[in-house]
Amino acid sequence: MIYLDSAATTAVRREVLEAMWPYLTGDFGNPSSHHELGESASRALEGARETVAAWLGCRTSEVVFTSGGTESDNLAIKGIALATPRGRHIVTSAIEHEAVLESCSYLERFHGFEVTVVGVDGEGMLDLAAYEGALRPDTTLVTVMLANNEVGSVQPLKRITELARARGIPVHTDAVQAAGWLDLHDLGVDALSISGHKLGAPKGIGALYVRGRVPLEAVIHGGGQERDRRSGTENVAGAVGLAAAVALAHGADISALRDEFIEEVLATVPGAILTGPRESRLPGNASFCFPGTSGESILLALGEQGIICSAGSACAVGDDEPSHVLLAMGIEPAVAQTAVRFSLDATVTREQLHEVALEIAAARERVSALGS
């Protein structure tokens, strides 16, 4: 099997499992309990928080453990918007993850917020002029992802943040796909979301960085854990696993290998179209459209050869509509439905990618012959 769907999820690393094991077995205490087992769990939780904070370059008090990227996005957007009396206006981009877009929609529908969705160009890069023009005196929050999960476009987040902060507007970024690949320091953001299962930790653990001075209204209420920002008994083993994963995340640069793969696919697969930018792209992302076919048919054909990839985001359950990301980039719906994403990890080899490129060409020929 050749696994090229790391943007959807990664395998849990052995080192992560070993770090978690004690807190899944004998050291099973509740970190809020005032006895030996509880205090041991509390120390492990705070140790994990220290590791994640050091990795993000922030204070431990600014790290909130969550269940993953979706919850982190929800908490950041709803929590900052509802806690900040500045106004009821949010600026976001047209290619955000559903967790961001739906959180904005919720605030619009139930709390009277106005949401400005800024467009992107044909490579999935934010229209900076339109973005700057969208910022207003009553803008409550800007939320723009650092790197797109489908086409890999990496936004100029420092500039995005500078423009907002010059007007006193807090900025949140969904860094779920960027974490482990790009440097998350010095972005200037006020809130940042990550997810463990994109980094070699288990599903069900994530974190949100929130700058200490930024007000945050809790979304989940109860026992007041995580400094009253996220109630519920903490996932100690998950937090320890996330800390172990980020300690191992060294941001390997496989962009040269990715570029070779892109060039080979474009050269060997008739009509193949690269989606996303040539530059300013996640090192492990290679995404294409194959007009005249269907993305699902290509996936099935590749799957029969032991090649695992995806048609785009793994988070839009049961959705067979064209990708909103590709449509926002100006790609026709019929072409957008032929999309296939290959997301590489640091273990992939040149030989494997050469094999995959040949199999894509063969799959496209078979699918075209069937009239798919």
SS3 (DSSP) at 26: coil
DSSP for 212-264?
A: TTS----SS-SS-HHHHTS-S---HHHHHHHHHHHHH------HHHHHHHHHH
Catalogue the E-assigned strands of the chain: 2-3, 63-66, 89-93, 114-118, 139-143, 171-174, 191-195, 206-210, 273-275, 285-289, 307-308, 339-343
Tokens standing for residue 239: 């937090």
SS3 (DSSP) at 114: strand
309 is catalytic: no
DSSP for 45-83?
A: HHHHHHHHHHHHTS-GGGEEEESSHHHHHHHHHHHHHHH
SS3 (DSSP) at 210: strand
Residue 143 contacts residue 116 (beta carbons within 8 Å): no
Helix axes 350-369, 255-268, angle to 10 degrees: 30
In this structure, what is the dihedral angle of CA atoms 360, 361, 365, 368, given to the nearest 10 degrees?
60
SS3 (DSSP) at 334: helix
Residue 271 contacts residue 335 (beta carbons within 8 Å): no
Q: For residue 343, what is the enclosing H or E element?
A: strand 339-343
Residue type, 333: P
Of 58, 289, 309, 315, which is the active-site residue? 315
Q: Which residues are catalytic?
A: 315
